[in-house]
Amino acid sequence: MVTLKIDGRELQVEADSTVLEAALQAGVKIPTLCNLKDINKIGACRMCLVEDARSGKLQASCALPVSEGLEIITNSAKVLNARRAVLELILSDHDRSCLTCKRNQTCELQALADELGVTEIPFEGEFIPRTIDEASPSVVRDNNKCILCRRCVAACSKIQCINAIGMQNRGFRTEVGTPFATSLGETDCINCGQCITACPTGALTEKDATAEVWAALADPNKFVIIQPAPAVRVAIGEEFGMPIGTSSTGKLAAALRRLGADRVFDVDFGADLTIMEEGTELLDRIQNGGVLPMITSCSPGWVKYCEHFQKDFIPNLSSCKSPNQMQGAITKTYFAQQQGLDPKNIFVVSVMPCTAKKFEISRPEMGRDSYRDVDANLTTRELARMLRQASIDYMNLPDEAFDDVLGDSTGAAVIFGVTGGVMEAALRTVADILEGKDLQQIEYTAVRGIDNIKEATVTIAGTEIRVAVAHGTGNAGKLLDRVRKGECSYHFIEVMGCPGGCVTGGGQPLVNARTRYEIDPKLARAKAAYACDEALPLRKSHQNPSIQKLYAEFLGKPGSHKAHELLHTSYVER
């Protein structure tokens, strides 16, 4: 431990702390822009300047290590004037069209300008107009709003290990760019959107699909179905003032109904369906000499990463479509037949925690007979914007249920959005099948938590099944390297493209840098998902009566020819 003083107050902190971390521990708030917990602390923006009381020097607190006897002043006139000058310089080269920016009122730069009392910009420096890159199906880049904090670069390179973006040029012409100045859509970007969640301004946003959805809702010839993913219910409330990690399943169903949907289904049904197909596929591979380890394929960011960077593992990918695409396929076949609807007139809107889903729905294999499985994908943030535009009072909505039959689900489906959740849901069903009975021990805690890589061996009916879980493509790459070198072997691996899983996907409500030091959204939202699971009467996918009905009336059995035709696919090298 090290003893130091901050604003005259003596405190002890761990020796490897920074001054910024020590100040936060003491309840002293220091403004930041480039700093992002566990991702970026490089002192680039200079907003976190503090004064060394002994030397009078100003230093960036996020990169300044604590030392014995250090005395720091965080609010002297010298400090405050320097911070304000730094912020004014950043704003002098910034597109200040705040009122029409998606990040209006959630922009960290905007909040700091208000906090520091910036009312005018005294610097009339040159402004270089930048091209807006909209060619990606998922992510829009607007460098006119970039402040060069490098948080997006750190998320892409250090956490996801993709390196689709990086710093280019020098001096006043420095910018975040792509290799050879191509569009982001032409790079190896996996569309995960972690750069968006890291960005403090509107420089990075999701590709907007709200106009397309509004048009479908207004079209009398369209039968509009809206279906949210498991992770949406434990996060969307944050957009309306609920604490991080609050579940609002009933309000979500009610809101979608009031938005004008003809049916409100639940992708949790698709998650249960995925377990039926994926569990059957796993057992078939184990028992009949298939390619092992089998790796989950429900995360489109991870799948695209595999297609780009881990091509030799493509045969290991489960042939199952994601729950989102399975749900769309069943909606436009089984549901359409039940209701006497032409699939071409059904418009399926998915609400996803994920920006990569925008890419996924456009994949040529995700549809048939000239129509798509899913027509439009909204992020959680986009849905929140639509609800505000429609003046829907989310907080005061009653709890309502999703529509039958494709709105019924189990607890196993709810935890799909959490790292380790797909694995646990699959084990619950596989264990019952192998043991031939309804097992009461269904919580596989060894695959829970946010450790980068989790491993477990589960003995079922005398058979040892070795499993592993990784979240974030950087961790997935490390795990697969070990498998490739023969350092470990598994039967089943779950990979989610985003750190923490879908609960902290690229389309979820944004959490600013200061709040991330106080609350870990990965943990808070996961806790809410597990609570939803525990509260449901049925917690195993194969016990869902609507899933049983679907197989009895339409698909036959898991892994049938019809199931493969509609619910399975293949992947390609990129």
Q: What is the pLDDT of residues 137-152, one digit of tens each?
A: 999 999 999 999 999 9
**How far, in Å, are 224, 311, 528 from residue 483 at the CA level?**
44, 14, 33
Catalytic residue, chosen from 51, 108, 239, 278, is 278
DSSP annotation string for 519-562:
--HHHHHHHHHHHHHHHSS--SGGG-HHHHHHIIIII-STT-HH
Residue 288 has pLDDT above 90, yes or no: yes
Amino acid 401: pLDDT: 98
* Known active-site residue 502: yes
Co-location of 87 and 144 in the same domain: no
Catalytic residue, chosen from 10, 365, 518, 534, is 365
Within a domain: 100: no
Supply the angle between the helices 473-484 and 300-309 in degrees, to the nearest 10.
Answer: 50
Catalytic residue, chosen from 357, 358, 454, 522, is 357
- pLDDT tens-digit series, residues 372-384: 999 999 999 999 9
- Per-residue burial over 444-476, b = 16 or more CB atoms within 10 Å of its CB, e = otherwise: bebbbebeebbbbebeeeeeebbbbbbbbbbbb
Residue 352 has pLDDT above 90, yes or no: yes
Q: Give the max Cα distance, the chain.
A: 80
Catalytic residue, chosen from 206, 238, 239, 281, is 281
SS3 472: coil
- Taking Cα atoms as reference points, which of 180, 149, 122, 179 lies closest to residue 39? 149
Residue 224: exposure state from Cβ atoms within 10 A (0-12, 13-18, ≥19): buried
514 confidence band (pLDDT: 50, 70, 90): very high
Co-location of 141 and 36 in the same domain: no
- Domain containing residue 7: CATH number: 3.10.20.740
User: Under 8 Å CB-to-CB from 198, ≥6 apart: which residues?
Assistant: 36, 39, 40, 151, 152, 154, 155
- Domain containing residue 244: CATH number: 3.40.50.1780
Residue 252 has pLDDT above 80, yes or no: yes
Quick one: CA dihedral 435, 408, 372, 363, positive or negative?
negative
CA angle 380, 382, 384 (to 5 degrees): 70
Catalytic residue, chosen from 277, 360, 424, 494, is 360
DSSP annotation string for 90-112:
HHHTS---GGGSTTTTT-HHHHH
* Known active-site residue 10: no
Amino acid 493: pLDDT: 98
25 confidence band (pLDDT: 50, 70, 90): very high
Co-location of 252 and 190 in the same domain: no
Structure tokens at 452: 């980068």
Give the DSSP letter of residue 383.
H
400 confidence band (pLDDT: 50, 70, 90): very high
Give the DSSP letter of residue 452.
S
Q: What range defines the domain where residue 15 resides?
A: 2-91
| Whether the Cβ atoms of residue 228 and residue 508 lie closer than 8 Å to each other | no
317 confidence band (pLDDT: 50, 70, 90): very high
Backbone angles phi, psi at 247, to 5 degrees: -85, 140
- Domain containing residue 139: CATH number: 3.30.70.20
Catalytic residue, chosen from 62, 156, 192, 298, is 298
* Known active-site residue 318: yes
SS3 41: coil
Identity of the residue numbered 384: A
- Taking Cα atoms as reference points, which of 179, 180, 182, 185 lies closest to residue 166? 179
CA angle 248, 223, 207 (to 5 degrees): 60
Residue 108 has pLDDT above 80, yes or no: yes
Amino acid 368: pLDDT: 86
Which helix (H) or strand (E) is 114 found in, with range? helix 108-115
Q: How far apart are CA 433 and CA 209, in angstroms?
A: 41
Q: How far apart are CA 556 and CA 560, in angstroms?
A: 6
Alpha helices in 346-415 (DSSP H): 356-360, 380-389, 411-414
Amino acid 128: pLDDT: 86
Structure tokens at 497: 């493209």
Quick one: CA dihedral 508, 514, 520, 525, positive or negative?
negative
Amino acid 90: pLDDT: 94
- pLDDT tens-digit series, residues 171-220: 889 999 999 999 999 999 999 999 999 999 999 999 999 999 999 999 99
- β-pairing verdict for 463-471 and 453-460: antiparallel
What percentage of the chain reaches a pLDDT higher than 90?
97
**How far, in Å, are 152, 188, 207 from residue 163 at the CA level?**
10, 8, 20
SS3 letters across 261-280: CCEECCHHHHHHHHHHHHHH
Domain total of the chain = 3
Dihedral, CA of residue 265, residue 267, residue 272 and residue 273, to nearest 10: 90
Domain boundary residue, one of 154, 184, 205: 205
Catalytic residue, chosen from 138, 318, 350, 541, is 318
Backbone angles phi, psi at 520, to 5 degrees: -95, 110
Catalytic residue, chosen from 199, 502, 540, 541, is 502
Peptide bond into 537 cis (omega under 30): no
Co-location of 185 and 305 in the same domain: no
Amino acid 391: pLDDT: 98
Domain boundary residue, one of 65, 91, 117: 91
Co-location of 186 and 234 in the same domain: no
* Known active-site residue 357: yes
pTM for this prediction: 0.96
Within a domain: 108: no
Co-location of 138 and 73 in the same domain: no
Q: How far apart are CA 423 and CA 400, in angstroms?
A: 29
pLDDT, average across residues 391-414: 98
Within a domain: 279: yes
Q: How far apart are CA 341 and CA 449, in angstroms?
A: 44
- pLDDT tens-digit series, residues 421-443: 999 999 999 999 999 999 998 99
327 confidence band (pLDDT: 50, 70, 90): very high
Co-location of 418 and 464 in the same domain: yes
Amino acid 251: pLDDT: 98
Q: How far apart are CA 20 and CA 8, in angstroms?
A: 16
- Taking Cα atoms as reference points, which of 439, 476, 482, 479 lies closest to residue 459? 439
Give the DSSP letter of residue 222.
-
Which helix (H) or strand (E) is 425 found in, with range? helix 421-435
308 confidence band (pLDDT: 50, 70, 90): very high
Q: How far apart are CA 223 and CA 400, in angstroms?
A: 21
Within a domain: 562: yes
Co-location of 306 and 219 in the same domain: yes
pLDDT, average across residues 453-482: 96
Structure tokens at 273: 């369906």
Domain boundary residue, one of 179, 205, 231: 205
**Chain CA centroid to CA 177, Å:** 23
Co-location of 336 and 435 in the same domain: yes
**How far, in Å, are 35, 275, 490, 567 from residue 559 at the CA level?**
48, 11, 22, 9
Co-location of 459 and 519 in the same domain: yes
Co-location of 83 and 154 in the same domain: no
369 confidence band (pLDDT: 50, 70, 90): confident
Co-location of 73 and 133 in the same domain: no
Residue 125 has pLDDT above 80, yes or no: no
